[in-house]
Structure 1
């Protein structure tokens, strides 16, 4: 069972999401909070696996709450649910420690997938943000930045983008019509080239180098 707390200053959003998730067997909404302050007050007596949190909130915003969560409740995984789709906000909050980011216009299937992915400890970016970042990367002029050492191959870049979307090795293999072992090899090559220690570090590398921004 995945225990979930919803954090948003709009009651209709919280209640709507709770109703949306009511028939998902492995999810249980154990609490609601209007802002980061209420969340921090709630967590000591309401244990949760995942917090799904808005960014723009009064008293204590998502940006302000994130470092406090990392310090006080490092075991809680954070999924951002926001209307802010600019890559700088995505980068800022993921760097601060959030594990996933989904837009409020996402459908039920994607929201449930995001919660499951984050609960399992894997990063998640919703499809719309992933596509926007991909389009920007494609449209960016080839000379628009310094050459990076240990450049990734086209296939490795493609694999890294899918990792950033929260896909598993098996899911990436299916999407690229190749074997899981091949994807594992690509992933290891990416880790060696970027010197990233884990998946979150890989995504941070991709965003900081402009690959996903």
Structure 2
């Protein structure tokens, strides 16, 4: 039997956590290996257990989801972070993506969406709740100060490949390993591509990827 996806679940509401645990453990290819009621405990469990996926509530006591995600990614870069929240504001989405989360799912989503999101981030993809796609695009094409006032310079094949992988949630180290390049080279391609596009953050990369259809293709 294939190895199950190992998941750490963090939410300060016991009933919600119990429901999520039941949904996840009902799947033959995944199991909850640790549970936390606050962000500090979530970070400790992620460091100790090194799960495949850490599911974090955005609003938790002691340490919020964004700061917990940032710490987990710093201590365990291979752990994929899926944010689970009631917040639909783009500010929360931006904070979590900048912190290293590769998934953002609304708590009102269907059970099958949660399972799909877990599998997507676990295999290296990025999952954004479909209800938030419009809000993400507004940040690039709908804001008065959008940076796309001029036509961006064309990307080289390698620059586009690197940005695609960043948008899907891979770290520079993971990209370097897959492309058989040095981390420094990946950082150079990333910097040049971002300069050509006139963007300066991970959220901008994801927004661009959504706009041009890279994530839809995945």
Q: Would the TM-score normalized by the shorter structure come out above 0.5? A: yes
Selected match of 2:90 from 87, 90, 93: 87
SS in 1 for 2:6: strand
Q: Provide the C-alpha distance between the structure 2 equivalents of 1:204 and 1:97, rounded to a whole number of angstroms.
A: 13
- Which structure 2 segments of 5+ residues have no match? 155-164, 169-188, 195-200, 213-218
SS in 1 for 2:48: coil
Q: Is the 8 A contact 1:81 1:102 kept in 2?
A: yes
- Which structure 1 segments of 5+ residues have no match? 153-162, 167-190
How has the CA–CA distance of structure 1 residues 140 and 63 changed in structure 2, closer, same or farther, with 3 Å as cutoff?
Answer: closer
Aligned to 1:60: 63
Give runs of aligned pairs for residues 1-213 of structure 1, distance below 5 A: 1-134=4-137, 136=138, 140=142, 145-146=146-147, 147-150=149-152, 195=193, 204-207=204-207
TM-score normalised by length of structure 1: 0.68
Q: Provide the C-alpha distance between the structure 1 equivalents of 2:131 and 2:208, rounded to a whole number of angstroms.
A: 20
TM-score normalised by length of structure 2: 0.66
How has the CA–CA distance of structure 1 residues 42 and 203 changed in structure 2, closer, same or farther, with 3 Å as cutoff?
Answer: closer
> In the TM superposition, what is the alpha-carbon distance from 1:108 to its structure 2 partner?
1.1
Report the RMSD for the aligned CA atoms in angstroms: 3.4
> In the TM superposition, what is the alpha-carbon distance from 1:40 to its structure 2 partner?
2.2
Q: Provide the C-alpha distance between the structure 1 equivalents of 2:112 and 2:210, rounded to a whole number of angstroms.
A: 29
State the number of aligned residues. Answer: 171
> In the TM superposition, what is the alpha-carbon distance from 1:23 to its structure 2 partner?
2.0
> In the TM superposition, what is the alpha-carbon distance from 1:99 to its structure 2 partner?
0.7
SS in 2 for 1:149: coil
